[in-house]
Chains A and B, each alone.
Chain A
Amino acid sequence: MDVSIETENLTKIFRVRRFPYLAPREIAAVDRISLAVPRGTSFGLLGPNGAGKTTFVKMLLSAVHPTAGIARIFGRDARIPEARRAVGYLPENHRFPTYFTGYGMLDFYAALSGVPASERRRRIPEMLERVGLAGWDAMRIGKYSKGMLQRLGLAQAMLHTPDLLILDEPSDGVDPVGRRHIREILSELEQRGTTIFLNSHLLVEVELFCREVAILHRGRVALTGEVKALTAGKGYRLTASDVPDRLRETLTARASAVAAKNGHVDFQFPDRDEANSALDLLRAERCPIESLTQTTSTLEDVFVRTVEAHRAATGVGQTAHEPALPAPPAGSVVRDLPEAGAKS
């Protein structure tokens, strides 16, 4: 597989000094993460606060040094500056120097990315227009609104036409119209083969845009998979028993997910027509129908379930009643549940 980002057992352990005379406490912010992001895809990194997302991204950019493991960008060790030539990055809480004008800021970062002066003169006005900031080039960015700064940051990340865009909360502070505009720009880039790596809290946005996601919890990958497969629970769930093998095979081919338990078979269908058709076939075979329920499974549902399950397994913040877990959707990979992330 042609990959843009690849990590092998990537680990970051922070040492917290305790005064006085106590051994430092070790906190595994990222714990042996092995991940591969295919080239040309849109990949979302999700996780609750403190899951290790930002540390993971910073290790990809060599802003944080790994304690163990390795990160590669297009096959090259991420610690080598040259490997980052193919990367465009928009940090989350960016602080662009306010003495820059919009043009000056793009010119500076593009120069650092190795874009020649003649190219910069040509590309900067184009890029400003593309992100909706035409005419603002001579204005000091201290006067820009949060949304405008976000657009400028995006322009900065795209200016040197990188093959990999790493975006940390790209639509933070941007109005809904602006968000759609950013999504359109990113979709366009993805169609051209650029890998988009999105770190966002906005699950709806990730669901709308990303093809694949990874959910981090307590420094480890709790779940990875295609968004389409993970959200396959949206539709109708038909539970029947005594289903003959032949019919089971037929329905499995039509269903988005299938799970068997206690002699019952759960078929998950994406829409009402498929569910009705399956119901007709089961009735024709005189199979007992246990239930037929409409289900909704958004990425948010998947996220909450995954985090809750992970939390329950690690014994931290376990809730009294866990929501019923559906069978893992086709195409998803549920990772081993880890030990507690914090070591002392």
Chain B
Amino acid sequence: MNARATLALLADTFREALARKIFWGLFGLSALLIAFFLFVMKIDVVAGATATVSLFGRNAGPVADVHRLIQGVYGFVAVFLYTWGMFLAVFASAGLIPSLLEPGRIELLLSKPVSRIRILLGRYLGNLLVVGANTIFLVLGVWTIFGWKTGLWPVSFLIAIPTTVFIFSVLLAVVALVGVLWESTALAVMVPVALMIVSPILAQEKIARKLLSSEWSRNLWKALYLSTPRVFDVGFSTLATIRDRSFGSLEPLWTSAAFGLVMLTTALIVFARRDF
């Protein structure tokens, strides 16, 4: 029965995302990007190494190294997905939790033999599925097109799927907490976006260490850097992997995961204790 209820909650989130055009909006954007690479960008590979690239039918000049060209395009797609895609995903998802808590809707859900934790987790995971499906569509779509056009299939690009979905899951935990605390869609957008914006600033820890005069302020900077989602660092590692370099330290992953876990657990506790 529990699996049945969970599936119903996941399907409901998906259905709402479809009805609100969230799914189709993200899907359409991904499809546009894929279509751009499929129809507009033409690559002629010569002897597997050199290439000519044309955009909108105009020759963009010879390219010496196809592999680097591919890395550049994949890097662009990954950065686009990681920044604008993430922002759009947060923007699109922010309303899904407050809508669940609308008076007249939540009481009926709570009257069912389903725990509150399951209700909120169902919505959270459903939301993650919507964004995950779009991320997979975009990354696999671009990867397939370039693989087909160039004959090169570097799997390193596929790392953009888990890292993007992972950071989104962390930000979605913030969306969930803000949603259950204040039921405000606007605030549920603002807080995670602020975390995204502040992340590259906090990541300049070495520069801050030189600039800040007191030990106290340096420690505060470090504490903030380590205790907030490491969006910039994970993005940087993703790009490094796509460019055939090492992913680097896994610390940004686990500190971000810890942050997301704390946010999600707090959201679940608040939701379980609230009166509706």
* Residues in A lying within 8 Å of B, measured CB to CB: 58, 61-65, 81-85, 87, 89, 91-100, 104, 108-109, 111-114, 116, 156, 166
Contact = CB atoms under 8 A, between A and B. Distances in A.
A104 B19 CA distance: 13
Contacts of A96: 105, 108
26 contacts: A58-B107, A58-B275, A63-B111, A65-B273, A65-B275, A81-B112, A82-B113, A83-B113, A84-B111, A84-B112, A84-B113, A85-B113, A87-B111, A93-B104, A95-B102, A95-B103, A95-B104, A96-B108, A97-B16, A97-B19, A97-B99, A99-B15, A112-B5, A112-B8, A112-B113, A116-B4
Nearest to B276: A63
A64 B20 CA distance: 30
Contacts of B16: 97, 99
Contacts of A97: 12, 16, 19, 99, 105
A104 B12 CA distance: 10
B49 interface: no
Contacts of A166: 111
B111 A108 contact: no
B9 to A, nearest CB: 8
B113 A81 contact: yes
A301 to B, nearest CB: 32
Contacts of B273: 65
Contact of B15 (A63, A94, A104): A104
The prevalent SS among residues of A at the interface is loop
B191 interface: no
Given A58-B107, A166-B111, 14 more contacts: A58-B275, A64-B276, A81-B113, A89-B111, A91-B107, A94-B104, A96-B108, A98-B19, A99-B20, A111-B4, A112-B8, A114-B1, A116-B4, A156-B108
Given A58-B276, A97-B105, A63 B110 contact: yes
For chain B, what secondary structure do more than half of its interface residues adopt (helix, strand, loop), or is it mixed?
helix
User: Which residue of B4, B107, B110 has the most chain A CB atoms within 10 A of its CB atom?
Assistant: B107
| Closest A-B pairs by Cβ, 6 of them | A99-B19, A95-B104, A111-B8, A89-B111, A112-B112, A85-B113
Contact of B108 (A62, A81, A82, A89): A89
Nearest to B19: A99
A166 B112 CA distance: 12
Interface in B1-52: 1, 4-5, 7-9, 11-12, 15-16, 18-20
A113 B112 contact: yes
A196 to B, nearest CB: 15
Contacts of A108: 8, 11-12
A64 B8 CA distance: 24
Contacts, number: 86
A92 B107 CA distance: 10
A61 B111 contact: yes
Given A65-B273, A82-B113, A111 B15 contact: no
B114 A112 contact: yes
A65 B275 CA distance: 6
Contacts of A94: 104-105, 108
Interface string B81-122: 000000000000000000100111111111111110000000
Nearest to A90: B108
Contacts of A95: 102-105
A116 B7 CA distance: 12
A62 B110 contact: yes
Nearest to A142: B19
A336 to B, nearest CB: 27
Given A99-B16, A108-B8, A112-B5, A61 B114 contact: no
Given A104-B15, A111-B5, A63 B107 contact: yes
B15 to A, nearest CB: 6
A93 B113 contact: no
A109 B4 contact: no
A99 B12 CA distance: 10
Contacts of A111: 4-5, 7-8
Given A108-B12, A111-B4, A63 B106 contact: yes
Interface string B141-182: 000000000000000000000000000000000000000000
A85 B114 CA distance: 9
A61 B110 contact: yes
A33 to B, nearest CB: 17
B111 A114 contact: no
- The listed residue with most B CB atoms (<10 A of its CB), out of A58, A89, A111, A156, is A111
A109 B5 contact: no
Contact of B275 (A63, A83, A87, A116): A63
**Residue among B102, B103, B104, B113 having the largest count of chain A Cβ atoms under 10 Å:** B113
B107 A114 contact: no
A113 B12 contact: no
Given A64-B276, A85-B113, A89-B108, A114 B5 contact: yes
Nearest to B4: A111
Given A91-B104, A93-B104, A95-B104, A112 B109 contact: yes
A131 B273 CA distance: 36
Contacts of A156: 108
A67 to B, nearest CB: 10
A78 to B, nearest CB: 10
A108 to B, nearest CB: 6
Contacts of A114: 1, 4-5, 113
Contact of A91 (B11, B99, B108): B108
